[in-house]
């Protein structure tokens, strides 16, 4: 597979993951409206994910390599799973009660910019450079997010809305940081774990945190309702297993290409479009209007621009490789 097709396939997988990820926002919002406690929503997803992943492991490289990797560097696994899974989803679940599902999904698209801003903190090679074109598109999407937020709040965010916004923006940094951090650790240690193995390892490493959160949720709200159990199980299966594996696979395919990695993460911006449609259809949420609608359109434009940027760069890189080979007589 040539470089351009590989990058475009990674982007397509990320877009499919975005569609499946959208169930998180819609179902978490439904649970919040039904009175479900946010801590149960967060903890149950990853407690369900572990037994859901176990049957897949014999066909996905097995558990043994994952266990060896965790035993060799427990600190790295605890750190990056704590950031990319625990911090990410605790904050996202807490924010679900703040507004419509499309508003939370839209705010999370800060991850487009966050992924690029994390790069200089992690890498010491060419990947540390923030791509100018990608950064510009990321700023466009961020402008769309802010327009949606202030449009929905009619120009003024109250204290609860600001807390929710800070939570969502923080988890937008946590998710790509945890994913990239683990990929970099595995790269340095020379371990080749596929996407399913990485998801399983991070789920396993984060189990102590989820059991502790579940115990706290029991003291605060008692046992979860049957409707919350059912909704979170669907989220765990569709978003936690299927979508996360697809996203990890996509990011693993382009981990050495900074612009392509940014594009893969940018495709998660499609979640806001899916969240609007599903929220209106299943939760009776109002369509965004006014400034919120303009913000949504900016996010969609950002998605299209990022796809164009990454395709252009892939073609350019391929031409440079061909030119170099011809100069060397290959």
pLDDT of residue 288: 81
CA dihedral 262, 89, 58, 265 (to 10 degrees): -10
Q: Tokens in use for 76?
A: 């790295």
pLDDT of residue 203: 95
CA gap 267, 315 in Å, rounded:
19
Report which secondary-structure segment, H or E, holds 194. Answer: none
pLDDT of residue 323: 41
DSSP conformation letters of 42-70: HHHHHHHHHHHHGGGGGGTT-SHHHHHHH
List Cβ neighbours of 197 (8 Å cut-off, separation of 6 or more). Answer: 57, 60, 61, 65, 66
pLDDT of residue 18: 87
253 SS3 class? helix
CA gap 295, 102 in Å, rounded:
11
Measured N-to-C along each axis, helices 258-266 and 111-122 cross at an angle, to the nearest 10 degrees, of 150
List Cβ neighbours of 14 (8 Å cut-off, separation of 6 or more). Answer: 246, 247, 250, 251, 263, 264, 265, 267, 268
pLDDT of residue 329: 43
The pLDDT tens digits of the residues spanning 259-307 come to 777 678 677 767 777 888 888 888 888 788 888 888 888 877 887 777 6
CA 32 to chain centre: 21
Among 20, 145, 173, residue whose Cα is nearest residue 88: 173
DSSP conformation letters of 145-184: HHHHHHHHTTT---HHHHHHHHHHHHHHHHHHHHHHHHHH
pLDDT of residue 316: 62
pLDDT of residue 168: 87
pLDDT of residue 326: 40
Sign for the pseudo-dihedral over CA of 48, 209, 114, 290: positive
List Cβ neighbours of 17 (8 Å cut-off, separation of 6 or more). Answer: 243, 244, 246, 247, 250, 267, 268
Residue 300 CB-density burial (10 A; 0-12 exposed, 13-18 middle, 19+ buried): middle
In the chain, what are the domain boundaries?
3-327
CA gap 2, 309 in Å, rounded:
17
Which residues of the chain fall below pLDDT 70?
Answer: 1, 99, 155-157, 258, 262, 265, 269, 307, 310-330
pLDDT of residue 311: 61
């Amino acid at each position: 597979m040539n470089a351009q097709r590989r990058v475009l396939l990674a982007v397509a997988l990320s877009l499919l993951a975005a569609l499946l990820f959208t169930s998180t926002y819609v179902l978490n919002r439904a649970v919040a409206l039904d009175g479900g406690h946010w801590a149960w929503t967060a903890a149950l997803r990853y407690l369900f994910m572990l037994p859901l992943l176990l049957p897949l492991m014999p066909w996905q490289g097995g558990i043994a390599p994952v266990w060896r990797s965790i035993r060799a560097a427990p600190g790295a696994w605890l750190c990056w799973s704590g950031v990319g899974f625990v911090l990410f989803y605790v904050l996202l679940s807490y924010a679900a009660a703040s507004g419509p599902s499309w508003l939370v999904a839209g705010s999370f698209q800060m991850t487009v910019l966050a992924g690029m801003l994390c790069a200089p903190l992690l890498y010491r090679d060419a990947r540390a450079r923030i791509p100018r074109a990608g950064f510009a598109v990321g700023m466009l999407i961020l402008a769309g997010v802010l327009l949606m937020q202030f449009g929905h709040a009619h120009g003024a965010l109250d204290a609860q809305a600001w807390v929710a916004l800070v939570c969502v923006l923080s988890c937008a940094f946590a998710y790509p940081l945890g994913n990239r951090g683990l990929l970099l650790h595995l790269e340095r240690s020379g371990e080749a774990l596929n996407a399913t193995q990485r998801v399983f390892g991070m789920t396993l490493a984060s189990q102590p945190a989820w059991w502790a959160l579940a115990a706290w949720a029991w003291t605060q709200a008692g046992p979860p309702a049957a409707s919350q159990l059912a909704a979170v199980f669907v989220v765990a299966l569709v978003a936690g297993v299927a979508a996360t594996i697809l996203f990890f696979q996509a990011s693993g395919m382009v981990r050495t290409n900074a612009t392509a990695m940014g594009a893969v993460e940018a495709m998660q911006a499609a979640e806001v479009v899916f969240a609007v449609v599903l929220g209106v259809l299943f939760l009776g949420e109002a369509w965004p209007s006014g400034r919120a609608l303009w913000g949504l359109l900016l996010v969609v434009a950002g998605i299209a621009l990022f796809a164009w940027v990454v395709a252009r760069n892939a073609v350019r890189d391929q031409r440079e490789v061909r030119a170099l080979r011809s100069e060397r007589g290959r």
